[in-house]
């Protein structure tokens, strides 16, 4: 009598990786405000008097009024907003890895076959069984 016993062992594996990365940078605002007032006021009074047999009277008024207003306003706003999102790349890699592992697992399943044979000379009966 011979007995065949088959043991089937199935081994598969899957790896799933996902990475999220985000960077946010914001630089400071720069503000420059300059204000300058220049004012000059000049006034001169001149008076001259001469007297002889005839009288001459001269009077001179000179006034110079100068006013200068200068205003310079400079404002610089610098904002840098940098956002790096690598989620698309990571998702693409994850999908690629998942498809690769799925196909590999389907095509490269490992079957370990253990065969046990028991023989007796009294009877000639064959029993064939497969265990999954």
Q: For the chain, give every domain's residue range.
A: 2-131
In the DSSP assignment, the letter for residue 43 is E
Q: What are the strands, taking DSSP E only, across 12-122?
A: 22-25, 30-51, 55-76, 82-85, 110-119
6: tokens are 């088959």
CB 45 within 8 A of CB 62: yes
Whether residue 89 is predicted with pLDDT greater than 60 in this model: the reply is no
- Distance from C-alpha of 73 to C-alpha of 75, rounded to nearest angstrom: 7
What's the half-sphere exposure (Cβ side, CA atoms, 13 Å) at 11?
5
pLDDT of residue 41: 54
pTM value is 0.14
What digits encode the pLDDT tens for the residues 51-72?
555 555 665 666 666 676 667 7
The overall average pLDDT reported for the chain is 57
């Amino acid at each position: 009598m011979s007995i065949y016993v088959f043991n089937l062992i199935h081994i598969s594996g899957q790896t799933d990786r996902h990475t999220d990365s985000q960077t946010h940078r914001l630089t400071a605002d720069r503000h420059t405000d300059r204000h300058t007032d220049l004012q000059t006021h000049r006034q001169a009074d001149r008076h001259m008097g001469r007297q002889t047999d005839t009288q001459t009277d001269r009077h001179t008024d000179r006034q110079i009024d100068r006013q200068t207003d200068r205003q310079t306003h400079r404002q610089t706003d610098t904002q840098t907003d940098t956002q790096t999102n690598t989620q698309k790349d990571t998702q693409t890699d994850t999908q690629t890895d998942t498809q690769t592992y799925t196909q590999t697992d389907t095509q490269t399943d490992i079957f370990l076959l253990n065969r046990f044979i028991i023989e007796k000379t009294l009877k000639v009966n064959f029993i064939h069984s497969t265990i999954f």
